[in-house]
Every structure is written in structure tokens, then in C-alpha cells.
Structure 1
Amino acid sequence: MAEASPELVDVTIHGPRTRMRGVRAPNVELRPWIEDFPICQALTQYQILHIGIQEAVAPTRIVRTKQTTTYFLACIGGRGRVLIDGRWRICKQGFACLLPAHTLDAFEAIAGVKWEFCWVCYQRPAEQRPIADVISPVMARFEPLPLKSAILGLMHECNGPGQPTLMQEWADLIRAYVLRFAQPSDQPDALRLLWERVAGHLGEPWTLAKLAREAGYSNEHLRRLCRRQLGRSPMHQVTYLRMRRAAELLATTEHTIEAIAHDVGYQNPFVFSNAFTKWIG
């Protein structure tokens, strides 16, 4: 069973044997671990701040209680822990996760286990469509080697020849591999339509039975489908969409907590606040 997270605070710890390499866009906020990365202008058009490959060992630990970027992480080897929906989950080889902006994000290496993963970090302007939409999985199977190869190709070009055409092509590939995970084309239309309807009517009293009726599935089939496609149960997906919308409203409007709670389907602001703290931080 996944372990519930205690109260977390922002922290950045890189173990002494942790190795990182990557590429960054120009004019990004410099952090010590990316300041030596070569610069690639081609990343800017996709709002990518930085990309890279990391071999992490304990006590490596990253916590962002007010994350403003979207973070894609694909495990190449070993395993680590990622905080998803307020609980720690294992991310192992052949899996990836997508951590959206305006949520509590955290990940850490496990003692005695080397964890190799590649990452892509996005900045989303308010006017741009987020890379994570209503049917984006939180954690699902993903073949990481093509993405790793594209990142290595871009790193080689940026550290050596620096041919703009090739750097653009590597950036295009990286974007395409992330989109393959974030906006999958193989999900049933009924599932996509269901979550688009839910996202547009978060104030309604959604139940598993009502969701199943809307999609035309049995309760159990919808449950299995959501677990496989999204990495969470149907009702957890409803809560996730509510919390994501609430976080966006808190970050971009001056609405009261009571108004936001009502907008996303909570009649009791206290219950909403408890759920928000658990999921978002």
C-alpha cells in the first residue's frame, strides 16, 4: 500500500554520487545543478526549461510545495519514489510519470538503489494549453530509451557541432516522445469524452455509478480502464481534476476559498481545504 506523506517543506538534496547531465533553454532561472548545462534555443518554442538524464542515489530528494512547472520523468533503470496524489509511489524501469504545475511535487532516491531517469521540465504561460490534459496519465508504462537517445543526441549537438537544424530536430523528437505519454492517442473516445465532461462540470455530484453511466461502461470496467490508462481510480481522477482546477483558480484569481470550493464540487470549505492540502500542499 502506498505510504501517506507527512507535511513536507521545500528541499533540494543531491547525493554526493548523484550524476546529472542535460541541456537548458536560454534565460531560465539558474539553479546550481543546471548552470553548467549547454544552452539550446530550440527548446524555447516548446516552453521547455531544461532536460536531462540523472543517475540518483540516496539521499537525493527534491520537494516543491508550490511547483510552477510541469515535470515529466521517465525511469530508465532501478527505481525511486515519486509523490503522486498525496502518496509516495514507486517509479521503476519502464514507467513514467507526469507531475503537473500548481501541485505538491516530490521525488527521492531509495537507499541502496541507483535510480536512472530522464526528465523534461516545462514552463506553461497562462495563455498556453497545458501539456497535461484531462486524460493524461499520472503514472503509466513508457519505453524510455527513445527519449533518452533524443536527449543524448541534443546534448551531443549542443556540446559539439551546434548545427541549428539538427538541434531543432532533436527538440522536436523530445517533444513528440513526451506527448506520446501525456496525450495518448490509443485511449477510447468514450473515456476522453467522459473526462472532458467531468472537467467542464466539476461542481456536479459525481459518483462511480454516474461516471460509468456517462461512459457506457460497467463500474468495474471503468475502474480497470482508468487504472490501466491513467494510473488512478475513477473517483481519484475526479478529485485530481477538482484539485488541479482549484490550484489554477487560487494561482490566477482572487476568488475566496469558499467560492473555489463550491466551483469544484465541495459544499463544505473545511472538507475542501483538507483535501486540497493532501493533494496539492
Structure 2
Amino acid sequence: MPNPPKQLTETHVIGPETIEAKVRAQECPALALHHIAHVGLADAAAPYEMVRMDLSGTYLLSCSAGRGQILLDGRWQTCREGWACLAPPHAMLAFRAVRGERWEFTWVRYQQPPDQKPIISSSSPALARFDPRPLHAAVQGLFSEMQSQTAPAAVSHWVELIHTYVLRFARPWQTDDRLGHLWEHVAARLGEPWSLDRLARHCHLSTEHLRRLCRRELGRSPMHHVIFLRMQYAAKLLATTDDKIETVAGAVGYANPFVFSTTFKKWVGWRPSEYRARKG
């Protein structure tokens, strides 16, 4: 995969060959009950590109046909049919169509209330396998009911299904408690010196088994997920405290502030000082 651009900016380029359809919470109050801002379907072609530097809520993208690229963990990765991507609130999200290819996907974007925890957790996947058909059908069903305006109860039914399918992807530890317990434990101790061996010992798995499990359930290696959790927490500290950058670095396991700053920029899109300035 090519390296990500050195500087991303907020953008939404649709292009003449792309078709998008969406339903917003303003039009469908049932979505707002689940804190869903909008849902939609896209049949995209280059130059389609979307960059959000600071997501206001959790975002799920599920690919139902073709392939596109998503910027995850600091590099462009392919999202193809049967895969989905989940991004947390206040993260950077970027995705684009591949020249010469169609890319069909369904999306669900949440609005994050300040007094509630996001649906994404320490065990949520970044990019992982996901059957796109149920979610795609539920969004299509919602579109049909919104157009007919004949059965409000049916609208609520489709919205409930949409939310259920997102939760099914966002909470994989319901199928394997070992990962859920591990990442909850790590998330509470991000300043500690985590290694693959230590992670494996904690959940009583071999290192290779843990690698395979994380790749399958989370879409990234165990140590990459540790970095992901650290950068998420660092972003929260930078936005909500006046702690020095050196202090934030130490709180998430980095003795060297320069290494922390470089890693933060790769994963979040800005250096810590830039991120704090934008939030301030």
C-alpha cells in the first residue's frame, strides 16, 4: 500500500460517477433514539474521497462490493467485499475509491453524546471480516419505509436492526471473552511496558494464537492494538487536561516524548501540540 499523504485536510469529494443515498436523524427521529446521525449507501468511483480530521461520533463502513482504501493505523489499507471498518469518536478517518474500480458500501455514523460512552470499546475491531448483507438490507428497508411513510413502526424496526448489526461488529468479545478481558485490562494500564509475550501470558494463549485471534477479530496485530489504545487515550488527555506533553507521553507508556509525538502524528494526523491547539 502507498504511504499516506504527509498532510491531510478535511474534505468530501464525491465525483460525477458516485451515487450516494442517505437518511439523516432530522428526517427520521427513530435514528436519533440510538444517537445515529445518518445512515447511507454509496456506489463510489474515483475521485471519491472523504477525510474527517475529528469524527464527532463512531463511524462504521461495511463494504458490499468492489474495493476501496481506508487510512488506518497510519497507512492506506484495502477494504473489500465482506470487510468493515470501525472508527471511534474524535479520531481521524479517511477513505477513498480506487481508480478504475467501483466500491459499494453501507455506512452508519453516530453522534456521540458527551455524557455517554461510545459503542466502540477497547476490544472493537478496526478492519475485520463482516457479512455486509444484513446491514445493507436493513438500510435499504429503512429507505423504502421512509419513502412510503405508511408504517412508523416498521421504520423503528429497521433502525433497531441497523443498530444491532453495528453492535455485533463493534463488540466481538461477545464471541470470545478472552480478548475482551485482555483489552479492558490493558486499557486500564496503558503506561505499563506491554509486550506480545506479556499480553499472551495474561490471557493464557500462545503468542501465535493471540496474533491470529487479534487479526481475525480486530483487524490488527496485538501490539498495534496496544498503540491504538494508547493514542486514543493520549488524544483524550490532550483535549481534556493541561498536562505537559511529556506527562501525557509517560501516561501512555512512552519514556521518549519525541517517539510519542512521531507515533501520535502517524496515527492521529497531527503532532500532540497541534492536536491540543485545535481542541483549545
Which band: TM-score by shorter chain? over 0.9
TM-score normalised by the chain length of structure 2? 0.92
Residues 231-270 of structure 1: matches in 2 within 5 Å? 231-270=219-258
CA distance in 1, matches of 2:88, 2:70: 13
Amino acid at match of 1:4: N
Cα shift readout 1:223-269 (whole Å, capped 9, x = no counterpart):
11111111111100100000011112223333332222111111222
Cα shift readout 1:92-120 (whole Å, capped 9, x = no counterpart):
01111101122221000001101000000
CA distance in 2, matches of 1:238, 1:262: 15
The number of aligned residues is 268
CA distance in 1, matches of 2:106, 2:150: 22
8 Å CA contact 1:75–1:115 kept in 2: the answer is yes
Gaps of 5+ in 1: 27-38
Identity value in percent: 51
TM-score normalised by the chain length of structure 1? 0.92
Deviation at 1:161, TM superposition (A): 2.0
Does residue 1:81 correspond to 2:81, yes or no?
no
8 Å CA contact 2:83–2:128 kept in 1: the answer is yes
Cα shift readout 1:136-180 (whole Å, capped 9, x = no counterpart):
111111111111111111111112225321111111000001111
Question: More helix by proportion, 1 or 2?
Answer: 2
CA distance in 2, matches of 1:25, 1:249: 31
RMSD of aligned Cα (Å): 1.3
Cα shift readout 1:208-234 (whole Å, capped 9, x = no counterpart):
111111111111111111111111111
Deviation at 1:76, TM superposition (A): 0.8
SS at the partner of 2:114? coil
8 Å CA contact 2:172–2:217 kept in 1: the answer is no
8 Å CA contact 2:173–2:179 kept in 1: the answer is no
Moved more, 141-150 or 106-115: 141-150
8 Å CA contact 1:98–1:138 kept in 2: the answer is yes
Amino acid at match of 1:18: T
Paired residue for 1:50? 38
SS at the partner of 2:58? strand
Amino acid at match of 2:231: M
Does residue 1:3 correspond to 2:38, yes or no?
no
CA distance in 2, matches of 1:78, 1:148: 14
Amino acid at match of 2:158: W
Amino acid at match of 1:22: K
Does residue 1:133 correspond to 2:121, yes or no?
yes
8 Å CA contact 1:22–1:151 kept in 2: the answer is no
Change over 3 Å in CA distance of 1:46–1:100 after alignment to 2: same
Cα shift readout 1:56-88 (whole Å, capped 9, x = no counterpart):
000001112222222100001000000111111
Deviation at 1:186, TM superposition (A): 4.7
Paired residue for 2:274? none
Gaps of 5+ in 2: 270-280
Deviation at 1:10, TM superposition (A): 1.7
Equivalent in 158, 166, 170 of residue 182 of structure 1: 170
Amino acid at match of 2:112: R
Does residue 1:91 correspond to 2:104, yes or no?
no
Paired residue for 1:199? 187
SS at the partner of 1:3? coil
Paired residue for 1:145? 133
Q: Which runs of 4+ in 1 moved over 6 A?
A: none
CA distance in 1, matches of 2:117, 2:37: 16
Does residue 1:101 correspond to 2:100, yes or no?
no
Paired residue for 1:30? none
SS at the partner of 2:190? coil
